Amino acid sequence: MVKVSTKLVTWDEIVEWSMGLARVIKESSFKPDVVVAVSRGGYVPARLICDFLLVENLVSIQSQHWTEAAKVAERAIIKFPYTLDLSGQRVLLVDDIIDTGDTVILARDFILSEWKPAELRVAALQWISPVAKIKPDFYYIEVKEWIWFQYPWTRHEDTVQFVRRILLEEKERRREWTYDEIRAAFEESYGIFVGDAYFRLALETLVELGVLERRGDVYVVRVT
């Protein structure tokens, strides 16, 4: 069975961490004119930072990992490379977590060369220091051992993926599961529980995606 050390992050923690990050920024005396959220993970923290620092201008840039069909290596891409004129502006680029650092580095370099701000600083709620290729100018939590942070804004997506992974991994050994059995396997693999509402929604989605078939109280993994 897969085992991934995972921490379930609550909305309250997000508010606390974002407020803490805003304080770090404030104490540095850096006053951003524009906040740029790295989409999609940076959206919520960026919005909260705008609130705590009373910044009116918020835009976003979608930088994400992209698996190219024929290549094993992943690389980051800017999904919608539009242009903005940020000359003379002080920019704060905000993300949820800096893991490898690839997405934020790409976003930073794109903004510097295409949007040409007067200044740009990078902020993240969390920074995984042993693996990250960059250290953000501002962060709230330094993570010293890699784990997966299950943020509230990817709760559904993560639950779908995690359950799918378990079911497909166990496919040769078993096909039929009850709700409680899937839930127990999920807790054994990830050490967290996302709540019944999210869990039921994930199973419903897996039925819609054709991974599972529901027969009364039993979920059957479909052979593809």
Closest contact distance (angstroms) between CB of 68 and ligand AMP is 16
Q: Which residue is nearest to ligand AMP (CB)?
A: 41
Instruction: Summarize as ranges the residues that interact with ligand AMP (CB under 6 A).
Output: 41, 95-104, 148-149
Rg (CA), the chain: 20
**Alpha-helical runs (H) found in 54-148:** 102-110
Closest contact distance (angstroms) between CB of 216 and ligand AMP is 36
Closest contact distance (angstroms) between CB of 61 and ligand AMP is 12
CB 35 within 8 A of CB 221: no
The residue (of 96 and 219) whose beta carbon lies closer to ligand AMP is 96
Could you tell me if residue 195 is left (phi over 0), alpha (psi between -120 and 50 degrees) or otherwise beta? left
Task: Give the span between the Cα atoms of 169 and 163, in whole angstroms.
Answer: 10
| CA 73 to chain CA centroid, nearest Å | 20
Closest contact distance (angstroms) between CB of 196 and ligand AMP is 23
Closest contact distance (angstroms) between CB of 9 and ligand AMP is 8
Indicate the residue type of 8: L
The residue (of 6 and 205) whose beta carbon lies closer to ligand AMP is 6
Task: Give the span between the Cα atoms of 45 and 17, in whole angstroms.
Answer: 9
The residue (of 194 and 221) whose beta carbon lies closer to ligand AMP is 194
The residue (of 12 and 172) whose beta carbon lies closer to ligand AMP is 12
The residue (of 155 and 221) whose beta carbon lies closer to ligand AMP is 155
